[in-house]
Each structure stands twice: as structure tokens, then as C-alpha cells.
Amino acid sequence: MSAMTPEEAVAHVVATNPVFAVAPTIVRGVTYKAFQNIPGTVHALLDAGMAQHDNGAANYILYEGERWTYGEFAAEVRRIAQVMQGTFNIGKGDRVAIAMRNYPELMALVLAISATGATVVFVNAWWTTQELEYALGDSSAKLVFADGPRIERLLPLVGPMGLTLVGVRDGEAMVEHAYSALQLAASNAPLEVDIDTDDDFAVMYSSGTTGNPKGVVQTHRSAVNAVFSWLMQGVVAPLVTPPAPDAPEPLRPSVLVVTPLFHVTATHPTFLLSLVAGAHITLMRKWNGDEAARLIDAEKVTRFLGVPTQSAELMLAARETGLKLETLDYIGSGGAKRPGAQVSQLAETFPNADVATGWGMTETNALGIGMTGDDYVKRPESAGKLHPPVQELRLLDDAGNDVPLGELGEITVKSPANMRCYLNKPEATAETIQDGWLRTGDLAVMDAEGYVTILDRKKNIIIRGGENIACLDVEGALHRLPDVVEACAFSVPDERLGEVVGACVQLRKGATLTKEDMATALASYIAPFKTPQHLWTQTGPLLRGATDKIDRRALRLACLDNEKAKT
């Protein structure tokens, strides 16, 4: 079979494979290109993937020595969905929160909640009590499934917010309802829920330019269209690069999940995709490069998707242990841009793997731009090309006009995978989505071949190891300190995490503030990963621009230059 171009392969698959048939579809008054024959809801992916998992007999999840077959996982989803419907009267219009580390139960809960017609509310497991209070109040979630550390932070909110907590694993003995006990009470009654593909599936919180995070509302259609866009890539790939006639059968897809499942990078292109791709899932309790290398070797993992820091530490672990990790055929990057120099190093260390990059957002259900293999090695600073076939891309100037090729513009995408709205924020929604086009806040250039290179961000966001941090969130916490007159947060380059938080503050006359004292004082207000790792203090006003606003960029440069001068 002769090789096709990527464009030819996509057109061929769309035209000949009914699973990936695409047609114009009207969603909320806007016409999109959308898949026509895919499952209509997220929980329907479970049954759709049964055949790909040996009709349920295949091992599906490994966690700390525990192994779950796909059939066992599906049975647990059904039981917990029945409990939510029967015991807690959960159904359409309700929102149910999940607050825990990466446990198999988290995966089961995502599908069980969606099966009842309710909306999954993902909360950041690193948040403080105050941050949890905001998200639960914003989402109106009253039922929360949580593990021990999260229950400790949630207990002060139970009375004031009227919460019902269900303890999972080390949280079971801390509250009235225990996850394992509730399962025993499940009936065999079928769920009877009428769920539309455009009903809400989930609320995921994403840091924005405002102090509080925005609740990104994802629908069933948006999530499933993203999943099948990635699934199609596996069908297209052998048409573009046909395997050799004597090539062995490919291994079963196997994914190591190393990023939090409360973020879109882990839920959508790893967990949800695994259902219909027939992939095995290995969950890590906590990231460790050496342990990741051991698991990849032992479990014949084929796919690794993490933040760039994790790719670098996996590479170092492989070199130090001598493990070849020859089963890896994909090493992806999500959440933050990978340093260009790392691309060729990874390709050399893992010659059997396609090193990949990707750009996506919570607002796009993680679908977006990407590239793999030689294309990426040749263009290590680029984000890649738009993933086909349901997305459209424009680069716009501030007035909403398309910019010429090679000129800087804001990445703007139209796709059925786009979010429905920002929860309770109609003005922010209207600013972000116009006529189905989502303005992302990322500034980029595109060349004649369609490769997109991201150069800057319009939003005041710091991306620390894949975790988005709003500068205003950090500044709001700093302003709570009595000796701080004004504060400005910004990114500081970091070799390991890409970026970390830095801050410059004006102190009251005669006051002092050390980095250690600051961290202690901020512990009640923001999660530790948001606390500035670099601190500059001064007694005079912070640098301002022509409009008398703090000039964040100029102040950042001045602080970094000052630091360089000291060294």
C-alpha cells in the first residue's frame, strides 16, 4: 500500500469509515462540522468500548498492585450510578463533585455521575478549604465524593454549605457515607434517564485572568467529539506511514496516567479515549520518574502523556536505570510547552517512540493542535497543525480580522468540542465565544503549511508544570498580608517546571517580608503550588505604564535583570 499524505488519509477515512462520518450539525444555533455516528454521551463510551476490551475480560486498570478488568470496572460504574440515583436522588440538573487523588474510583465516578444525567464537577485536589468553598458554591454541588485529605478540608464547609460527603478509600471512616458500603446497597434496577448529547457532562475549573477560576461547562457532544478526533488519528497513522510487510502485530494500547484526573489532559485524551481505543490504564499514586520507568517496562506501556518536566525526568530515569522502554511508541506533552532542546534528546533516548506535542484547552475539551515524530523534531518550537476533521482555525487581530500568514494573531477555533459556556459568567462567555468561534487568548503565527507556533499569551497566566495559575489569584492572596501595599505576580523561568510564580510587592514603611514568612502567611488562602517561589520587595510604588496601571511585563523584566546582576 502506498503512503498517503495526511490530508488524503483524513479524507479517505471520513469518506469510507462510517464511524468517522462528518456532516454539518446545528448546535445552539451555530453550524459546526461534527461526527454523525459516534456515541451520543460520555457514559455510552463504556458500552461502546466493551468489544475492544475482550467483551470485558481484558485487564483495564492497574493501581498499586490492584487490577480491575474492564467488566469489573463497568459493573462498578453501574452500581455507583444506581446508588446515586436511589440513595441520593441524583438526576438531571444536579451537579456532583469529585475531590480526590488519582484513584480507580475517580474514573468510575465520572461515568456513573454522567449516567444519572447529572454533571460531574471536577475540583482541584490541591485546593485549600477556601478555594474548595468557591468552586462548590459556584457549581451548587451538594454531594461530594472525596478521599481523606480532601475530606479534612471539606469538613468545615459541611454545615454552612449543606454538603453531603461520601468518603473514598482513606476517607471512608471520616464521614457517614462510605463508598464501599454504598456499593453493597446497590440494586440491579436499570437506570432510566433521557440524556441528550447537548446536555452538560462536566464542569472543570480553569484559572483565568480573574482571581477566581472559571467553571468550564463541557457537554457530552463536546467531549465525545474530542475523543473520536483522537481515535481517528490511530486510523489515519498507518495510511500515512504504512507498516512494513513483516512488521509484528502492534501491542495493545497501554497508557501510564501521570497527571491529575481533575485536569483535561488526563481525563479526555487518556481516560475517556482508553474506553473506545481498547487501552489499558496504569495509574500512578504519585509522580516519580524511576517508578514510572519501572511501570512502563513491567506493564509494556505504549503511551506516555505528561507535562514536559515528567518527560525529562522519565528520560533521566531511563538513562540511569538502563531501561530501554522499547514498548513506548508515543511520548506526548500537554499542559505546557516542551523546551525545544528536549525534543531531539527524547527522540534519541526513545528511538521507538514518536515524540509529540499538543496544544489544547479545558475550553476545547483538550482538542486543538499537535504533531508527532519527524515533523516535531524538525520544528521543535512549533505547536503543530490543527487536528482534523471537525475543527476550524483562524488567527485574529484585536478587531476580529484574520491576519496574514506569518503575522501574529490570536488562536481562534470553531468546533463541536468547544465548551458550552463559563458557568455563571455570561459576560466572560460572550467575550470568549462569538458565533461558535472561541478566542483562546494565545497569540501565534501560522506558516504556509499550516504549522502554528505560539509566541505569547494575552492572559496573565503562569503555567507551572502544566498547572495554570492566575496572576490575579496570587496577587489577591498577597494583598491579604497586612504589610503589603500592592503586589504584582508574574512567571519566572524554571529549568524543571518551565515556569514558577514570582512576585514583586511594595511593603509598608518599616516592614520586612521574607519568602518563608510569605509562604506561611499565604497557606490559608492559596494552594502551595501558587505560592511565589521568587520574591522581590520594595518600599516605593511598583513600576507603572502610561495608563498608571502596573506594567507587569516591564516589572518582570526589571526583577529578572536585577536577579541576574546579583549572580
Supply the pLDDT for residue 562: 86
At residue 469, what are phi and psi to the nearest 5 degrees?
Answer: -130, 125
Domains within the chain, CATH numbers bracketed: 70-218 (3.40.50.980), 461-566 (3.30.300.30)
Tell whether the model's pLDDT for residue 123 goes beyond 60: yes
* pLDDT tens column, 87-120: 999 999 999 999 999 999 999 999 999 999 999 9
Among 529, 531, 552, 33, smallest CA distance to 260 is for 529
Lowest-pLDDT range of 194-203, 298-307, 506-515: 506-515
Q: Which residue has the higher pLDDT, 458 or 80?
A: 80
Buried b (16+ CB within 10 A) or exposed e, 268-280: bbbbbbbbbbbbb
What SS3 state is found at 382? coil
Mean pLDDT score of the chain? 93
Q: Are strands 143-146 and 164-167 parallel, antiparallel or unpaired?
A: parallel
d(CA 416, CA 422): 16
Give residue 547's pLDDT band: very low, low, confident or very high (50, 70, 90).
low
Burial 58-91 (b: 16+ CB within 10 A, else e): bbbbbbeeeebbbbbbbbbbbbbbbbbbeebebe
Tens of pLDDT, residue by residue over 300-340, are: 999 999 988 799 889 989 999 999 999 999 999 887 778 78
pLDDT tens for 236-270 read: 999 999 998 888 999 999 999 999 999 999 999 99
Residue 234 has pLDDT above 80, yes or no: yes
104-115 and 70-86 helices cross at what angle (nearest 10)?
50
Whether the bond between 389 and the residue before it is cis, its omega within 30 degrees of 0, is yes
Position 567 scores a pLDDT of 66
Whether 139 has a pLDDT exceeding 90, the answer reads: yes
DSSP codes of every residue in 242-280: PPPTTPPPPPPPEEEE-S-TTSHHHIIIIIIHHHHHT-E
Run of H or E residues at 471: helix 471-478
Answer positive or negative: Cα dihedral of 81, 83, 84, 90.
positive
Per-residue pLDDT, averaged over 115-128, amounts to 96
Contact 317, 269 (CB under 8 A): no
Predicted confidence at residue 208, as pLDDT, reads 55
- pLDDT greater than 80 at residue 545: no
